[in-house]
Amino acid sequence: MARHASRALLPGAGFAFAYTLAILAGRSTRVEGSEVSLAWPAAAVAVLWCLHARDLPRSRAALHGGGLAILTFGVNLATGAGVGLAAWFVLVNVALGAVTAAVLRYGERPAALRQPADLGRLVAAVAAGTLVSAALAVVWFAHEGQPDLPQTFALFAVRNGVTALAGVAVVLRLRDAQWRRPSFAVRRVAEAITCMGLVGLVFVRVFWLNPGHPNAFGVMLPAMWVSLRFSTTTSTVFLTGSGVSIMAATLLDRGALQGVTPQEQALLAQGMVGALTVVVLTLALFRDSRNELIAELRELAQHDPLTGLANRALLHQRLEHALARHPAGTVGVVLLDLNGFKLVNDAWGHEEGDLLLVEIARRLTDLAGPRDTVARLGGDEFVVLCPGIDGPADLDLSVERIRRRVALPYGQSSDAPYDRITASAGAAVSDRSSTPRSLLAAADRAMYDAKRAERGAGLTGREAPPARSPAGPPSAAGAPARG
């Protein structure tokens, strides 16, 4: 019980610690000579905390909300705010997190950043939360008689909104990221080095060596290169570094934003970070979505929709590759046709027949080696491509294993059609003149020879031996076929 309670409290303690650090980090970004902070990472932590609380039972969610409120009140008091201001800003911060989380999770949709629509939903949620919180903040300052309320509203909305958007986007993306081993292809590495060099050069020129010229738009060019050529995860890491670079240069009064008032610096710096976030993530997510769609279409075009096995087109590609890489006599093809399958369709229906084909595909895949390809040509015809075999005898062993596995019972009843499924198999081994078409044709001829032999002998496919193409000696099952 105590262990369960401690596990329940750990996330809250973690969020409380992160929230406190975020507030201190935000206060450390105040522009020199001003109380204006360039960034407010506490806004992002508050949103993530409320998102976590929404997945909990109401009693525990209330505890997390209470923790956020108490911590906000305490930190404001500790940093010199009065009791009234500290209490009001509890409402401001809780509203920011709660409204954003509610809009983002409306209809119990998951909070994620995988598709362009996810980014649109995140932007809308953050905009709603920051507008509500900024309006509440302005109410307090209006009550205190502070002038320039429109500028105050803009500062709160832009600063909190951009920081929340960038922070939540980074966390959501990195949380779901699937890290892959980087490609070390020479061309890819050269492009990555060139891109990093150009990005660094542009950012240093615009935000560090620039004597105040308004050319900050120049950072968009390398940013678009990153988002269009690299993954969304890489683009998210790039955004994190870019945001830190822009904030640091602005705090040191360097680059394109030097020499302007603190309020303008805050608005312009946050505007630049916000524009980079939206542009880079939009392009990167569209790029990844397009690539995923192309991969799915390619998968559909090269695989059988029922069994998931390779189809005829992919089989031909694999055959061409195998014949080009392996010497003659080391590429084997097994073509098999099911005996008794029509009876299953007639007696049990096509749906049961489809289930049987799926099971056949599973059994063949289980038998296949790591380099083999199992394909369905259509109907009840299957092919197993075996590249790199030791010779015809090796292929014979594979054929026998296939026929025995196919012949195992499928149904429960001894007189069910499932128990009378066998396979007639024909095999062919490549020679120097083999092509994908000729090798398949040789295996096909051998398979039909096996069928005729089985019928003439009155044997089932379970009892009959595999046949070879007539191009080889009829008595030698392992002889290579001539195609």
Distance CA 206, CA 10 (A): 43
Sheet containing 381-387: order of strands: 373-378, 381-387, 331-339, 422-429, 467-468
Q: 271 and 162 in contact (C-beta within 8 Å)?
A: yes
Torsion sign, CA atoms 377, 382, 386, 390: negative
Cα-trace Rg, the chain: 34
Mark whether 380 is an active-site residue: yes
Distance CA 186, CA 181 (A): 15
Which value, to the nearest 10 degrees, does the dihedral of the CA atoms of residues 121, 123, 127, 130 take? Answer: 110
DSSP class of residue 115?
A: S
**Which amino acid is present at 399?**
V
- Alpha carbon 194 to chain centroid distance? 26
Q: At CA 73, angle to CA 71 and CA 75, rounded to 5?
A: 65
End-to-end CA distance of the chain: 73
Q: Which of 170, 162, 169 is nearest to 270 (CA)?
A: 162
Distance CA 100, CA 384 (A): 54
Task: Select which of 380, 396, 431, 444 is catalytic.
Answer: 380
Q: Which of 164, 162, 181 is nearest to 267 (CA)?
A: 162
Helix (H, G, I), strand (E, B) or coil at 440: helix
Helix (H, G, I), strand (E, B) or coil at 376: strand
Distance CA 307, CA 309 (A): 5
Q: Which of 424, 369, 434 is nearest to 395 (CA)?
A: 369
Which value, to the nearest 10 degrees, does the dihedral of the CA atoms of residues 453, 458, 459, 464 take? Answer: -20
Catalytic amino acids?
A: 380
